[in-house]
Structure 1
Amino acid sequence: MSRIIAGRFDKTVDADAAVEALRREGFAGEEIDSFYVPPPGQHSMTPLGGDAPYASAGSRFAAGGAVAGAVVGGLLGMLVAWLVARDYDLVVVIFGAALGAYVGSLLGTMSRLRGGRPEEATREHPVEPRGGRMIAACVDRSGMQPRAVKVLREYGARDLGRAEGVWRNGWKDFDPRAPLMTP
């Protein structure tokens, strides 16, 4: 495992300047890695995409609201279509039920999205940093860690921290959900 210092940058210009400054401080090209981290929830860590099911605290019960809304809306749509089409035209009744189910599912989902509070960060489930460009430097050589910290701070790195990981022409096992330790 290699020792790594990393920081996130909001501006590409600052990230590029930090990479150049790291080179001037004696870091070799293979000791510097630059990559983009997408915003939380877009890391495709689950089969359906995203990082975790119900990533938003307010959406926890949205699926149940959609089902309930679809059932109620479908029944109401079918009833209204039947009342309008007194000749029992089956196509009109089916269309009314489908339209009612669609509108009902939307309204049911929206009715359940209220009242969610963001979950607080814990040691096991920290709040993820925002997306942006990450600059990481391998600091296995003696005396390189303070240089990397100084340069990244000087050029405005956010979420500056240290980690241990596999370094082969870049940081290979980076996990955007894992918090960095303070440098």
Structure 2
Amino acid sequence: MSRILAGHFQLQDEVDAARAALIQAGFPDSRISAFFVNQPGQHDLHELGGDRDMSPGAKETPEGIAEGAAVGAAVGAGVGAAAVLVTGPIGPVVGALVGAHVGSLYSLNKMKGAGESEEVEPGEGSPHENLRRPRQPGMLIAVALDGVADREKALATLHELGARNIEEAEGTIVNGDWQDFDPLSIPVLVA
């Protein structure tokens, strides 16, 4: 496993020019990998499509729905019992509608994480994981580095060519293939 620098480009021609420039800078072609990164959610990592079994923001959904249903049932029963004296047989219907509405509001409040600041830096396992910035789609060219001198040389080359969102990672590039690339990993951007 080695350090890898990767830069994003929009066009295939830009990636071809970056590959040529990296080779000219002394990097072997076998340690350079170029490929297209799909939009978030379109990496087809699961049999039925998508990237995850469950959205990071939906982890508390089952509990929120259960609590919302319980609150809604209690409110609905109270409203229905009170309304039956005034409205007759329509009272339970009104009670059910009011209870469903209150329950949905309660469960939405639970799922949203009321009172939590959204300024917290998101990370894997964080309650704010759904706020993390995903890897941008587009062409990506990556180069495996041998040391600090390689890092500076590759970084300067990518900057000169106008690479966007230059990121640093650890991984393995063999014969031009970044074998352990994870499109869902949080990119560590380099200035």
TM-score of the superposed pair, with normalisation by structure 2:
0.57
2:101 is matched with which residue? Answer: 103
2:75 is matched with which residue? Answer: 76
Asked if residue 117 in structure 1 is aligned to residue 117 in structure 2, the reply is yes
Provide the secondary structure at the position in 2 that maps to 1:177: coil
Identity %, equivalent residues: 21
Does the C-alpha gap of structure 1 residues 99 and 134 become closer, same or farther in structure 2, counting only changes over 3 Å?
A: farther
Structure 1: how far apart are the matches of 2:166 and 2:122?
15
Deviation at 1:51, TM superposition (A): 5.1
Structure 1: how far apart are the matches of 2:107 and 2:117?
17
1:121-140 Cα deviation digits (max 9, x unpaired): 68x98995433136132336
In structure 2, stretches of 5+ residues that fail to align are none
- Aligned length, in residue pairs: 167
Asked if residue 170 in structure 1 is aligned to residue 171 in structure 2, the reply is no
**Aligned mate of 1:24, from 20, 26, 29:** 20
CA contact (8 A) 1:73 1:103 kept: yes
Structure 2: how far apart are the matches of 1:147 and 1:2?
16
CA contact (8 A) 1:128 1:177 kept: no
Does the C-alpha gap of structure 1 residues 69 and 167 become closer, same or farther in structure 2, counting only changes over 3 Å?
A: same
Does the C-alpha gap of structure 1 residues 182 and 86 become closer, same or farther in structure 2, counting only changes over 3 Å?
A: closer
Deviation at 1:178, TM superposition (A): 5.1
Provide the secondary structure at the position in 2 that maps to 1:86: helix
1:9-50 Cα deviation digits (max 9, x unpaired): 5xx24xx3541222322264883222326559x9866533x4
CA contact (8 A) 1:75 1:97 kept: no
1:148 is matched with which residue? Answer: 154
TM-score of the superposed pair, with normalisation by structure 1:
0.58
Structure having the higher helix fraction is 2
CA contact (8 A) 1:73 1:97 kept: no
Structure 1: how far apart are the matches of 2:77 and 2:133?
48
Provide the secondary structure at the position in 1 that maps to 2:170: strand
Structure 1: how far apart are the matches of 2:57 and 2:142?
29
